[in-house]
Structure formats: C-alpha cells, structure tokens
Amino acid sequence: MDRRTFLKIIGAGVAGATTGNLLTPGKSSAEESLSGKEFYGILVDTTRCIGCRRCEKACAEVNGLPIPDISEKTNEFILKNKRKTSDTQYTIINRYETEKGTIFVPKRCMHCNQPGCAAACLVKAMKKRPSGHVTWDLNCIGCRLCMISCPFDIPKFEYNKAMPRVQKCNLCWDRFNKGVLPGCVEACPTQALMFGSRRQILEEGKRRIAANPDKYIEHIYGEYEVGGTSHLYLSSVPFEQIGFRKDLGTVAYPEYSTGFLYAVPFIFVLWPIAMLGINRATKKSKEDEGHHEEKGKH
Amino acid sequence: MAGEKLETVDVVQEKPEGPSIKSFGDFIDFLKKELKPRGNIVTPFNIISLPIMLLGYAFIVYRLAVGLGRPVTNLNQEYPWGLWIGFDVVTGVAFAGGAYVLCFIVYVLRAEKYHPIIRATVLNGFLAYLFYAGAIVLDIGRWWNIYNPMVGNDFGVNAVMFLVAWHFFLYMLAALIEFSPAIAEWLGLRRVRKILGAMTLGAVIFGITLSTLHQSGLGALMMMAKSKIHPLWYTEFIPILYFVSSIFAGLSLVIFEGAISHKVFGPQIDEEHNKSYDDIVIGLARICAVTMFGYFFLKALLLVHEHAVPYLGSTMGFWYLFEVIGFVLVPCFMFVSGAQQKNLSTIKFAAVLTMVGIILNRLNYTFIVYNWYVPLSEKYWPAPMELVITASIILTEVWAFRWMVNRMPVLRKPPAWAIEKEH
C-alpha cells in the first residue's frame, strides 16, 4: 500500500466516524432505492369500488390478522363511521356521501416514493425496497418516529403488547417475491384495484381520465403528493371530499430534515476549531498568570 | 432539610488527604463504607420521595411486562409520543443544557467567576442525561434492541434520530470525563486525577459540539411532522429555536438548582464561593436575558417569515402568545430587572417561569399542538402511571445527586493536593 492510498483510507475513516453519510444528505436512505428498478404500486379507482370489504378480509387472511365479518348487515353498520387503519387492519374502506353519490375509498399505506418513515428510522427497520414496497423489520427499536413522520398516519404500534411491532401494509412483500398479486388486489371483484409498475398504473390512470373526462376529475392523487406515491387514486369528486388531505404539498418528506443534516458536518468541523481558537486567544499572558497566583487559589 | 444539614457537617471535617486506595479490595471496602447513609435518614424529603420511587419502580416492572398501552400510558396511534419523550427526554435534555453552556464560559472563555458552580452543573447535566434521557429505554417499545443503533449492522446514518442517539451516548461520556476529576479526588487517586484533568478541555470542546448538534437535533426530529404541528409552531428553523432555548433553559435550571443546593448543602460551601454566589447568579441572569431576547426576536421574525400572523387571532394564537409572551418575554424582562436591582428573588422567580415556558414549549411540539386538529376529547393526556414513573425518575436523580455531592468535592473545595495540581 502506498502512502496516498493509506491516507485516503484514513481520511475516509475519520470522515465516516464523525459524519457518517451525512456529507451527502440528499442521498437519503429512502432515495437510494430510486435508482434501478421500477417501483410497483396499486391504482385505486374509487369510482369502481362498491365497498364490499373483501379486500379487508383478504388482507387479514394474508397477514394473519383477525378476520373481519363482511356480511352486508355488518358492512352497513361498520361503514357508518370513518375508520383509520390500525395495528390489526392494514387496509380499510370508508364511505363518503358526495354530490356524485356514495363513494367508497380503500385506505392503506401509500408507499411513498421517498417515505418519511424510512428516512426517520435510525436502524433502517422501515425500508423502501427497490421494488417500491415500504416494509418493516424486527430490528426496530420502537421509537415511533416513523408514526410522527408519516403524512398519512399509516404506521401503527402495538401498544398493548410486551413485545410490540409496528404494523402496516407492506404491499404484500412476501407474495411479491413469490410472484403473486397482493391479497387485496386478488380479492377485488370490481377491479377497483390494479397492481402494476408505477409507470403502468399512472399511464392507465391517465388513460381512464382521458377516456371519461366527465366521470373523473383531472387529478391523480399520489402522482405528485409528497414527492409521489406508489399508491395512486382516481376520483370523481375533489379529493378533500373523500378524506384526503390537500395540504401535504409536493415536497418529498425526507427533504424537510436535509437542511439540518447539511449543517451537521459544518458544525462538527468548525465548532471545535472555533472553540480551540477562542480558548487559546483568551489565555492569559505570563505576567497575568503571576498576578493570578498571588491572588491565591480559589 | 435539617437532616441533610447534619449529614453534611461530618463530611466537611473529613481528613483532607482522602482515602488511600491501593488495590481493588480497598476500593470495594471504601465503596461499601461510602454507600452507607450518613446522618439522619428520616427526613421529610426522604419520607415523601421513597414511597413514590418504590411505586415508580414497581410500575416500571409492570410496564416492561405488559407494554406501553393503557393503563401504563395514554399513548395511542394519534399520539405516539407523550410525557416520557416530551418531558423526560426532550425537556430534560434542554434543562441539562446548562452543563455545556457553563463549560463554554468557564473552560473556553475562561470566565473564572463561574468556576465555583461548574462541578455541580456538570454533575447535574451528566445525571440528567443518565436518568432522563435514560428514560427513553422505558419509552421505546422494543427496548431490547436499544443497542442496534450502536452495534447493529443496519445504520440509518441519514436519520436525525441516529444522530441524536449517538450524540446522547457520546455526550454522556464527555460529561463523565468533565466531571471525573471530582471522582478521582473522592477516591484519592492522584495520578488518575492528573490524567483526567488534562482531558477536560478536549472533553469540553467535544461536548459543546455534540450538545449544539443534539439540542438542535431534538427539534429536527419534528421536521417531518410538518402536516401535524400547528403552523404557529412549525417552521423550518425548529432546530435553531431548540438550540437557542436550551441555553436559557439550562441556565435557568442552574439558578433553580443552585438556590436549592445552597439551602440543602449550605455547610459544605466555602465562604469564598458563598460570597461570589450572588454575583454568579446575577451574571447568569444577564446571559439568560440576552439569549431570551434573541429567542423572542427570532420567534417574532419566524412568525412573519412563515406567514403565520393571521393565526394569532385563533384559540391556538392565544396559546402561542401565552407561551411566548408569558414565559419568554416576561421572564426575560424579570431577569433584566433582577440583575439591575441585584434582586435574587426576582431572578429565581424568572428562572422558574422560564422553566415552565420550556416545559410548555417542548410539550407543545410533542403532543399539545401536535395533531392540534384532533378534538379535545381524543387528545393525549398523561396517565397516572406515566406521571408516577416520571416523578420516580426525577427523585432517583435527586438522590444520586445528593449522594455524590455529600461524598465528592462538588460544592466544597477539592482536597489540597488537587488544588495545587490545578495551577
């Protein structure tokens, strides 16, 4: 090993030890996966959904969750309330009465292109897979910052367990690896859910809007929201009428913390130098020292 | 209180050269002797605090057995963070900020005036990190994985939380090194004392750098809660607000803690220190006043910058003004007038107001104005067990602080051999 290589290695080691990858914060863990393969996702056409809750049942079966009763009578009762996903329900359907009649909206993890949850995770338990799936792993320490960082309030925590997990839809990651469709998509009787690469489903969404401009509003929720999501929604009414937030912006969530992360290496390098400088500058000269000695020790 | 005073009298009369520890056996014998309580055990403080602490420990065991949900905490899917993170960790760390600020003043700026309170402050800071930040072990759901950010193989190096976790850990080491000369003096280890003393400046500079980053980092944790925190509080400058406020939060706690320590450990404090004490507090009040005004100015600036002024008319606006005027601007002016009139009671009252303001501010971010649109009936409110466990952690810290102050040269003069070395 020549001297230059050696210095390079040492330099990289020191930089790594003090700042990690922070010198390049733009390249967040969530974004790394942007390169390469296409993300997969689901196109949800709310004009096709009939609120049968079969996707809820299929999801529960696939993920080993309590199986919901989806008889018509129960549905009528359940759909009266606006529900949220929970640690035992990764997907739920809500009913909205709008100017264009009753609309059913399935809700689950949006699988953001650059997820806040994954960027927040200090052990990469929450991960954006190269295929677009946002998954959770057992090395999680349970700090719940992912829940705080999710604009859609999706990750749910098992509060009443001694060994809790963070629960959410993972776009059927295991089934994807076996080449099988997600449980909900397979169960949907009206093809309200369509699985495909993000490019495919976005094209299909645009095609449907163009073919039926009176039926759909010209907005695919998730195309630009929070930097884009792998779950895309079509609707016949403005999205705020069917329980979507319109104030989330188009900036990818990890971007909000990059400003701070950029400051880190600067402070790490400049602070010690500045303080050492001040310390040396404020040092008393020899005569003053003598004077200090005379004054006695505290 | 009388009991503690009696207790400390013995300590002052202890032989100045300290114990002679030559082997590990000596150390164990010495520790055994030191672990025994001194003076009167039956004091009002002990009688009140001990049952709370024991109850808290029992609840901690219960929490580890059944998890975080009710009845242990009122945390829920809407409010992932509550009292333990908001108060114990985030507020506790802000209060511990006094240690890095004073280290900067004493060791970097060499303002010798503040030297007499440096050890008590650093000890308090170290214990605050150990206990309050340590309380995070209770709050994280999967606590058995706590070592993952340190020795795991999946480092989330770009996560703010990763940074905060590492900085907590490293800062605790730095604070321990800063305080360690006192431990060496207690054990009578002269050579070790010399080595540790030489490490102080390095530890101080490292500690201040780490503190700057994790004090602001705690604010940066909330950056991705943009859609959840009320626009009056959310700004891209939260990290800077957290850092600036940690300066006067920490110093206010130093003033508050000093006032109590002077009553409780009075006899340990030498006359010279006693005489300079008022002057020190007035100086601290001045620093608080200036930083608080800067903070207030920044707040006002951000209000305009973030176009949040129209919100001032709403209920949330009143709550915002209550915090910013009642607990920043008012104590700021009280610090000014207290320092000018050399009125210590005004300064102490201002310090308490400031501390309440910091608690409000940090809890606002963690759960009060977090998800502010959630109806009042569904809002998070600390459960009784959360409160008891929090109280027991604080009291344990106070016990540890008292134990160390009574045995190590924290408030009283270091042994003669150590002072000679210092100059």
Shortest alpha-carbon distance between residue A190 and chain B (Å): 32
The whole-number pLDDT of residue A221 equals: 96
The whole-number pLDDT of residue B274 equals: 81
Q: Is residue A211 part of a domain?
A: yes
Contact B157 A283 (CB under 8 A): no
Say yes or no to pLDDT of B1 above 50: no
The whole-number pLDDT of residue B42 equals: 83
Structural domain range at position B90: 47-263+300-408
| Residues found in chain A | 298
Q: Are A199 and A84 contained in the same domain?
A: yes
Say yes or no to pLDDT of A292 above 90: no
Say yes or no to pLDDT of B205 above 50: yes
Q: Are A221 and A290 contained in the same domain?
A: no
Contact A124 B156 (CB under 8 A): yes
Q: How large is the average pLDDT for residues B264-268? A: 84
Confidence of residue B316 (pLDDT cuts 50, 70, 90): very high
The whole-number pLDDT of residue B355 equals: 97
Q: Is residue A210 part of a domain?
A: yes
**Residues B288/B350, Cβ–Cβ less than 8 Å:** yes
Distance CA B70, CA B62 (A): 11
The whole-number pLDDT of residue A175 equals: 94
> What angle do the packed helices B238-264 and B344-363 form, to 10 degrees?
140
Q: Are A80 and A93 contained in the same domain?
A: yes
Is B43 near chain A, with CB under 8 Å? Answer: no
Confidence of residue B271 (pLDDT cuts 50, 70, 90): confident
Minimum-distance CB partner of A271 among B81, B212, B423? B212
State pLDDT tens for residues B226-257: 999 999 999 999 999 999 999 999 999 999 99
Residue B336, judged by CB atoms within 10 A of its CB (0-12, 13-18, 19+), counts as buried
B37 CB contacts (<8 Å, ≥6 apart)? none
Q: Is residue B386 part of a domain?
A: yes
Percent of chain B scored above 90 by pLDDT?
A: 71
Minimum-distance CB partner of A29 among B73, B104, B156? B156
For B87-134, the DSSP string reads: IIIIIHHHHTTHHHHHHIIIIIS--GGGGGGHHHHHHHHHHHHHHTGG
Domain-ending residue, one of A235, A251, A267: A251
Q: Is residue A13 part of a domain?
A: no
More confident residue, A50 or A295: A50
Q: Is residue A116 part of a domain?
A: yes
Q: Is residue A9 part of a domain?
A: no
For B53-66, the DSSP string reads: HHHHHHHHHHHHHH
Complex ipTM, two decimals?
Answer: 0.88
Confidence of residue B342 (pLDDT cuts 50, 70, 90): very high
For chains A and B, CB pairs below 8 A equal 203
Omega within 30 of 0 (cis) for the link into B37: no
State pLDDT tens for residues B58-79: 999 999 999 999 899 999 999 9
Say yes or no to pLDDT of A205 above 70: yes
Helices (H) and strands (E) in chain A, counts: 11, 9
Q: Are A68 and A92 contained in the same domain?
A: yes
Mean pLDDT of chain B: 89
Chain B environment of A245 (Cβ under 8 Å) = 227
Q: Is residue A213 part of a domain?
A: yes
A1 CB contacts (<8 Å, ≥6 apart)? none
Q: Are A81 and A173 contained in the same domain?
A: yes
Domain-ending residue, one of A230, A251, A272: A251
Say yes or no to pLDDT of B377 above 90: no
Q: Are A279 and A233 contained in the same domain?
A: no
Coil, strand or helix at A188: coil
The whole-number pLDDT of residue B303 equals: 93
The whole-number pLDDT of residue B283 equals: 95
Confidence of residue B155 (pLDDT cuts 50, 70, 90): confident
The whole-number pLDDT of residue B282 equals: 96
User: Residue B333 sits in a domain of what CATH number?
Assistant: 1.20.1630.10
Structural tokens at position B130: 């150990």
Distance CA B354, CA B25 (A): 48
The whole-number pLDDT of residue B422 equals: 52
Q: Are A217 and A263 contained in the same domain?
A: no
Q: Is residue B18 part of a domain?
A: no
Specify the number of domains making up chain B: 1
Contact B148 A143 (CB under 8 A): no
State pLDDT tens for residues A68-119: 999 989 999 999 999 999 999 999 999 999 999 999 999 999 999 999 999 9
Specify the number of domains making up chain A: 2
Q: Which of residues 44-83 of A touch B (CB under 8 A)?
A: none
For B148-199, the DSSP string reads: HHHH-S---TT-HHHHHHHHHHHHHHHHHHHHHHHHHHHHT-HHHHHHHHHH
Say yes or no to pLDDT of B45 above 80: yes
The CB density around residue B176, as the number of other CB atoms within 10 Å, is 18
State pLDDT tens for residues B100-125: 999 999 999 999 899 999 999 999 99
Structural domain range at position A284: 255-298
Distance CA B53, CA B62 (A): 14
Coil, strand or helix at A195: strand
Chain B environment of A142 (Cβ under 8 Å) = 140-143, 145
Is A23 near chain B, with CB under 8 Å? Answer: no
Q: Which of residues 252-271 of A touch B (CB under 8 A)?
A: 253-254, 256-257, 259-261, 263-264, 267-268, 271
State pLDDT tens for residues A111-161: 999 999 999 999 999 999 999 999 999 999 999 999 999 999 999 999 999
Distance CA A198, CA B213 (A): 38
Mean pLDDT of chain A: 86
- Residue written as token pair 């995770």: A121
Contact B208 A151 (CB under 8 A): no
Is B220 near chain A, with CB under 8 Å? Answer: yes
Q: Are A272 and A144 contained in the same domain?
A: no
Q: Are A291 and A231 contained in the same domain?
A: no
Q: Are A179 and A298 contained in the same domain?
A: no
Q: Is residue B423 part of a domain?
A: no
Q: Are A155 and A269 contained in the same domain?
A: no
Say yes or no to pLDDT of B385 above 90: yes
**Closest to B250 in 3D by CA, of B219, B276, B212:** B212
The whole-number pLDDT of residue B14 equals: 47
Minimum-distance CB partner of B221 among A124, A145, A253? A145
The CB density around residue B360, as the number of other CB atoms within 10 Å, is 19
State pLDDT tens for residues B74-98: 999 999 999 999 999 999 999 999 9
Contact B160 A261 (CB under 8 A): yes
Q: What's the gap between Cα B48 and its chain centre?
A: 22
The whole-number pLDDT of residue A7 equals: 47
State pLDDT tens for residues A221-237: 999 999 999 999 999 99
Q: Is residue A12 part of a domain?
A: no
Q: Are A55 and A73 contained in the same domain?
A: yes
